[in-house]
Amino acid sequence: MPDDSNLVIAISSTALFDMRDSHEVFEKEGVDGFAEYQRRNEQVVLAPGDAFPLVNKLLRLNERLVGKPQVEIILLSRNSADTGLRVFNSIAHYGLKISRAAFSGGNSPYRYVKAFACHLFLSTNHEDVRNALNSGIAAATLLPSIKSCNESDQLRFAFDGDAVLFSDASERIYKEHGLEAFTENEARSANLPMDPGPFKSFLEALHRLQSQFKSEDCPIRTALVTARSAPSHERVILTLREWNIRIDESLFLGGLDKIEFLRSFGADVFFDDQKINCVPASRYLSTGHVPHGVSNEN
């Protein structure tokens, strides 16, 4: 059984490696043509995909942790084990310490995210991500990005608040009734912790790892990057305090564009529920769209 203290992240093969050529063959020639193409190119190493730099930095965390490895990457793929051999050969080529995988033979592999006790699922397949979220797992669709992780050894995660770390209840009030109703609700509910969003358990897992290091020497750093501003900031702070979760930096932007703040923070990856924020951010850093909450209902 997986160790509850570990950080376990599931990555789709199409997020880990650039498989656009393979997908093009599949679209043109179907399953049989795709299978033949993969077998013919088994020894041709796949180029890194959008999640590759992030996975590399995640696995390097194990070098800083005392005792057995505590960060594990699980590979999930719609390939069969036969056609997926090229993926494992590429994993071996790059020296990635990934040993567990599920090859679902054309079906969605999201069903195995919970079985592997994963805290996060990253994929390029929007439907798989939605299904994982509906199953209670933190998940995001990785958008194509021309920028890899920052050069620092420190791994930096940035999160939106409502509908990501927290529930979308407050954001729903804003969307349906406007800013004034939102502000009134937050003032009235200032002492009531918000309900958790889909990424709370992932943030908890990161916090457990961070707790093993002195704050000045921690290889993981987190930031909340939210459109909220005073006075709605108070409820956020009290909620995190109630959860006993540490956030290293909190940016209450009051509707300002997030991109320059994400770049100033040096984020390796940013998670947000609104594509209007994700698409421009993906030009500068790895970005995961979280298709959850009121902003994604239509």
Q: Which residues are catalytic?
A: 160
Distance CA 290, CA 273 (A): 4
List, in sequence order, the alpha helices (H) in 95-250: 111-115, 126-134, 169-177, 179-188, 200-210, 233-243
Q: Which residues in the chain belong to E strands, given as ranges?
A: 7-12, 71-77, 100-103, 120-123, 139-142, 155-159, 220-226, 249-252, 269-272, 286-289
Residue position matching structure tokens 């093969």 = 13
Alpha carbon distances (Å) from 267 to 16, 96, 227, 240, 287: 19, 22, 17, 20, 10
Helix 20-40, helix 85-94: angle, nearest 10? 100
**Cα 27 from chain centroid?**
27
H/E element, 262: helix 259-265
Tokens at residue 26, please? 């599949």
